[in-house]
Amino acid sequence: MSDILEARSVTKAFGGLVAVDEVDFTIPEGAIVSLIGPNGAGKTTFFNVIAGLYKPTRGTVHFGGKVISGLPPHQITRYGIARTFQNIRLFQNMTAVENVMVGHHSRMTSSPFDAILRLPRERTEERETEVKARELLEYVGLKGRDGVTAKNLPYGDQRRLELARALAAEPKLLLLDEPTAGMDPNETARMTAFIRRLRDERGITVLLIEHDMKVVMGISERVTVLDHGTKIAEGTPTVVQRDERVIEAYLGRAASAAS
């Protein structure tokens, strides 16, 4: 199994604050990999570096053999990485189907001039995009909600819509930032099953940030643990679970928080 993504000694500093420090990280193609760590460990920052929202201060990120670090996010999306956000960032005032159609933006080719002239290829592309968007909505379980304005959807549906929007970008690698945050155990279980289905049916590699240990341990093939911006452990869920530094990072934090 070859690695689809490889981060080499990635460092991201904000002023004097080092949020991610010399992290080496790989994701094998077709795997479900998780990134965990206590709050403020630098998980989301690392995520944002991969997605292109931040340029790494040092180090490089390779994706499918190409260097992507330093590229703007829209280009990284075009290469095949799509993401969701920890605090859902839908286009609140657009309908569900429009949200998903925006997700397909990078896979569309018609120019504004095609749109002005209403060329047949533009019409066809628009129609196909819409059909595809509806299919995706159905796939994530939002059948019949196509025309609902995003902000009027219930919370769980908004998470699903965000996922559909990311899938519309036809990613090879999907970055999910706490996809089950705020969900009840029932919904969480369904989301977990869905993520596995995504990988199995569509062959999409998944990188998860999670808080919920049950989710992480249930579906990840490999877990990487960050603390204070550095990688402290990596391996299969069972190995990581028994790692002393990991236990200390979590328990130590909890103990000091309790005291």
| Cβ proximity of 36 and 164 under 8 Å | no
What gap in Å lies between CA 209 and CA 62, rounded to an integer?
Answer: 19
Q: Tokens 């605090």 correspond to what residue?
A: 87
Q: Output DSSP code: residue 86.
A: S
CB 170, min distance to another protein, A: 10
Write down the least CB distance from residue 41 to another protein, Å. 18
Give me 44's structure tokens. Answer: 């989301």
The tokens for 84 are 């969701």
SS (H, E, C) 30-54: CCEEEEECCCCCCHHHHHHHHHCCC
**Sites of contact with another protein (CB under 8 A):** 48, 51-55, 72-75, 77-78, 82-83, 85, 87, 89-94, 97-98, 101-103, 105-108, 110, 112, 114-116, 118, 122, 125-127, 130, 146-147, 149, 151, 165-166, 169
For residues 78 and 196, which CB has a smaller minimum distance to another protein in the complex?
78
Identity of the residue, 136 or 219, whose beta carbon is nearer to another protein in the bound complex: 136
Tell the smallest beta-carbon distance from residue 100 to another protein (Å). 10
Rounded least distance, CB 64 to another protein, Å: 16
**Is the CB of 87 or the CB of 238 nearer to another protein?**
87
